[in-house]
Amino acid sequence: MRGMKMGLLAGMVLASPAAAQQRAAIDINQIGFEPGDVKLAVVRGAGTSPLPWQLLDADGNAVGKGETLVYGPDASSGAVVQRIDFSGFRRAGQGYRLSVAGVTSDPFVIAPTLYKALARDAVNFFYQQRAGTPIDARFAGAAWARPAGHAHEVAGCFSGADERGTSWPGCTYKLDVTGGWYDAGDHGKYLVNGGISLWTLLNAYERRPKGFPDGSLRIPESGNGVSDMLDEARWEMEFLLRMQIPDGVRTRVPSGPLGAPKPGRPAWEPSFPPFAEIDAGGMAHQKVADRSWTALPMPPQNDREERLLYPPTTGATLNLAATAAQGARLWRGVDDAFAARCLSAARRAWAAAQRNPRVYATSSFTGSGGYGDSELGDEFYWAAAELYATTGEDAFRKAVTGSPHFAEAVRAPGWSFTAPLGTITLATVKTGLGDAEVQKLRATLIAAADGILEQRRQNGYAIPYKAQGYPWGSNGDLMNQAMLLGVAGDLTGAAKYRAGIVSALDYLLGRNPMGTSYVSGYGTRSLQNPHHRFWARSLDAKLPGPPPGVLSGGPNDTAMGDPVAMQLKGKCVAQTCWVDDIGAYALNEVAINWNAPFFWVAAWMDD
C-alpha cells in the first residue's frame, strides 16, 4: 500500500501458523462484552464432537454451562473449529473465563459502556498522527510526546526524471502544506487516503453531532466551544485545502484516454498517456512526501529528506471537492467563514475535475505510495452527492442521478471506491431528492448490509466478511463493512446489525485464529510492533510502541510483498497470514483509512 520499505528480519523466527492451529485453544474477545450483546467464542483444535463447556467467574465458580456447536474444518483459518454461544448470560462482572476440553480462555469482563474508551482511543490516533505541531504529553501520554514533524512545510513540485525515466516539468510555485495527518507508518500525506478518512470522521459527527462535545477528546483545541470531532477533522481539512493549486496555473501532465490496459493490470501502472498542457487551477496535488523512502526508525522531526508536491490528479481533486463540500455543510453555523472557504474550494475543485477528468495517478515515484486509481466515476458521484447535499443545486442533482452509481448495488467503501460514501450521504441527509429516490438508496444500503451479515455463515469464526482471500488492510475492509451494518442499523433499528458489528469487533479484539488483539492496548495479547517509523520500540528502546487504540492492517494472503510476509507465503492461510513485526508492512502497517472506520464503528457501539 505504501511502497517498498525496509523489512527487518534480524534474529526473527516465525512460528508456523499452520502448526499453531493444531493446538486446542479458545479464541474470544479479550476485553469482553456488553450485557445484552451476542457472546460467542471459538474453540479450535478440539476435534469435531460436541464438548461440554463452563463459564467461570473470577472465583472459579461455574456460573454457566452448555455444549459446543460444531462448525468443522474452516478454510479461512485452516483450523477445525467449534463455537460456544453464551449470549444468555448477562450478569456484569470481571474475571470471567470459559473452560472446555481442559483449556481455559483469557479473562474478560461483562460490562455496559464497554466501547467508550475504545472509541476515544481510536480517534486519538489522529492526534498522534498530526504533522506540523508538537504532540503534547497532556493529550497523547508522556511516552508519545514529540516535537513537531515538518513544522513549517513549504514544498515545491517534483521535477526531472522519475523511476522510469519520464521527465516531469515541475511548477513555478510553492505551497505551504503544513499540517494534516501522516498517512500511515511513513511520513507521506495523501489526498486520496486523507479524503475517505476525513469523510468518515465528519460522517460520525454528522450522524451524532452531540456525541463529541467540546472537551470530550484529548486534543489541544478542547475548550474552544466547538465539537472536538470538528476540531480534529479541521486539522486535516485545512491541509487538504492547502493542497489546491492556485487559479491561472498551467502545467503538463499525462492526460487523456489511457486506452485498453493490459489484462489484470491497472491502467495507471503499465504506461502513460501522452503529456498535455492543462489548466490546473483548482486541482489538488496527489500528495506531499519525501523524495526517497526514509529508513526505520525515523521520528518525523528527524526526517531530512526533501519534501515535494507530486503532480495533481483528478482523483485527488475529487476527494477535495467531496470533503470540502461536506465540511461546508457541517461548519455552517459553527464557523461560517470557514464553511464558505470550504464551499469555494469544493466548487473550484469540481470545476477543475470537469475540465480535466482523466488525469490519473502514477506509481512511478519512490518515497511514497502511489494510490493509483483507473476508475474515477465513483469519485465524481461522491463529490456530486456531497455538493448536492450542501447546496441543493440542480446541476449537482443531475450529476448524481445521471451517474451509474446512483441507486446501484452497494459494496463496502475504500479509498479506491468511494461511491458508497455518496450513497450514505444521500440516504441520510435531507436533500431535494424525492421520497421514492431516497427509499431506493436506503434499500441498496440495507441489502448490502444483509449480504454482509450472511457472510458470517461462510467462515468458522462467524465474522461478517468474505470466507477466503484476505487483502492488504483486511481489518480496515472489515471495519468498512461493519460501518455499512451500522448505517443499516440506523435506518431500520433492527438489532441484527448490532450483532454483526459485535462479531466484527470480536474478531479484531481476539476472536481470531492468531489469538491476538489487533488493537494496541486492548486485550491480553495485543498489537505491539506495527510497521511505523516513530512507534518503533523494537528497533530503538528510546522510542515508544503504539499508543492504545491503533488498528493493525491485519492478515494478508494476496499481496505478501515485504520480506517478513515472504517467509509466510505458502505456509499460511487467509486469517493466519499475519505477524506482529515492524518489518511486515504488508501485514502490520497502520493507516488513517483503517483507524477511521474502526473509530466510527466503536463510536456507533458506544451510542
Q: Of the listed 231, 373, 379, 580, which one is catalytic?
A: 580
Among this protein's residues, is 306 annotated catalytic? no
Among this protein's residues, is 580 annotated catalytic? yes
CA 258 vs CA 28, 356, 361, 375: distances in Å: 49, 13, 12, 11
Q: Of the listed 531, 532, 557, 562, which one is catalytic?
A: 531
Local structure of 93: helix, strand or coil: strand
Is residue 509 within 8 Å of 29, Cβ to Cβ? Answer: yes
User: Which positions ≥6 away from 437 have C-beta within 8 Å?
Assistant: 401, 407
Please give the DSSP secondary-structure letter assigned to residue 294.
P
Among this protein's residues, is 379 annotated catalytic? no
Separation CA 392–CA 595 (nearest Å): 32
Which of 240, 257, 439, 442 is closest to 348 using CA atoms?
240
CA 172 vs CA 156, 245, 246, 250, 356: distances in Å: 8, 11, 11, 10, 20
User: Which positions ≥6 away from 186 have C-beta within 8 Å?
Assistant: 2, 5, 289, 290, 293, 294, 368, 369, 533
Among this protein's residues, is 589 annotated catalytic? yes
Separation CA 584–CA 9 (nearest Å): 9
Separation CA 465–CA 316 (nearest Å): 29
By CB atoms closer than 10 A (0-12, 13-18, 19+), residue 172 is exposed
Q: Crossing angle of helices 191-207/419-428, nearest 10°?
A: 20
Residue type (1 letter), 230: L
Separation CA 218–CA 197 (nearest Å): 19
DSSP class per residue in 176-227: E---SB--SSSS-EEHHHHHHHHHHHHHHHHH-GGGS-TTSSSSTTTTSSS-
- Give the H or E element holding residue 450: helix 435-454
Residues of 470-503 as b/e, b for ≥16 C-beta within 10 angstroms? bbbbbbbbbbbbbbbbbbbbbbeeeeebbbbbbb
Is residue 50 within 8 Å of 67, Cβ to Cβ? Answer: yes
DSSP class per residue in 110-176: E-TTTTHHHHHHHHHHHHHTBSSS-B-HHHH-GGG-BPPSSSS-EEEE--EE-TTS-EE---S-EEE
Q: Of the listed 34, 186, 206, 506, which one is catalytic?
A: 186
Is residue 569 within 8 Å of 560, Cβ to Cβ? Answer: yes
Is residue 557 within 8 Å of 513, Cβ to Cβ? Answer: no
Number of H helices, E strands in the chain: 16, 19
Query: Would you please indicate which residues are annotated as catalytic (active-site) residues?
Result: 186, 531, 580, 589
